């Protein structure tokens, strides 16, 4: 999950690096809209940077939240990772494939594929989580709410396992 977090941060920072160096996004906008002035191109680039920063920040929050949930053994972690993967991949594919009014895709392919990298990592996380056995209790190694030991002062309660497997105990003979 840390790999996905790192790739999300990299994909978020990459457009800023592009703006300072290669100007792929600005050139892409200029090619699609030759009548745009330099000020209008700069405004479009700034708008894209703000939108991608918000998307990137949400992605970072999602990675941190799901990494915590998986590490804590939360039962809802698997479905949450799957839902966030679908949302992230949907956003990345939309950004990468949507054509704007010029008829071209709105994002240079180099930047679009950078947004797909965290999604591929998320797909791997979904697949690996699907192979992990489910945690019985609310957390790894923590007693569950059904454990008698976790209920202070109640030595008569039986654990959930004991209640479920009561047939394993020898039965009394009725006389």
Task: Please give the average pLDDT of every successive group of 10 residues along the chain, which has 175 residues.
Answer: 94 94 93 93 95 95 96 93 95 89 86 92 92 59 44 47 53 61
Number of C-beta neighbours around residue 23 at 10 A: 14
Token pair belonging to 100:
């704007």
Residue 10 CB contacts under 8 Å (≥ 6 apart), including other chains: 114, 117
How far, in Å, CA of 122 to CA of 100, rounded?
A: 28
What was the pLDDT predicted at 145?
Answer: 44
Q: Which of 136, 94, 132 is nearest to 116 (CA)?
A: 94
**Residue boundaries of the structural domains of the chain:** 2-131
Number of C-beta neighbours around residue 134 at 10 A: 9
132 SS3 class: coil
What was the pLDDT predicted at 104?
Answer: 85
What was the pLDDT predicted at 152?
Answer: 46
What was the pLDDT predicted at 59?
Answer: 96
How far, in Å, CA of 153 to CA of 130, rounded?
A: 38
């Amino acid at each position: 999950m840390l790999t996905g977090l790192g790739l999300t941060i990299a994909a978020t920072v990459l457009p800023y690096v592009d703006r300072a160096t290669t100007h792929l996004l600005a050139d892409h906008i200029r090619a699609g809209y030759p009548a745009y002035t330099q000020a209008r191109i700069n405004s479009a680039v700034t708008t894209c940077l703000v939108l991608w920063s918000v998307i990137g920040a949400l992605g970072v929050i999602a990675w941190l939240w799901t990494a915590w949930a998986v590490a804590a053994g939360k039962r809802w972690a698997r479905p949450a990772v799957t839902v966030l993967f679908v949302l992230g991949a949907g956003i990345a594919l939309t950004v990468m494939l949507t054509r704007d009014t010029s008829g071209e895709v709105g994002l240079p392919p180099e930047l679009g594929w950078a947004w797909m990298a965290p999604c591929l990592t998320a797909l791997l996380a979904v697949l690996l989580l699907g192979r992990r056995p489910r945690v019985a209790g609310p957390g790894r190694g923590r007693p569950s709410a059904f454990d008698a030991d976790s209920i202070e002062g109640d030595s008569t309660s039986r654990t959930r396992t004991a209640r479920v497997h009561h047939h394993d105990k020898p039965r009394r003979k009725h006389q």
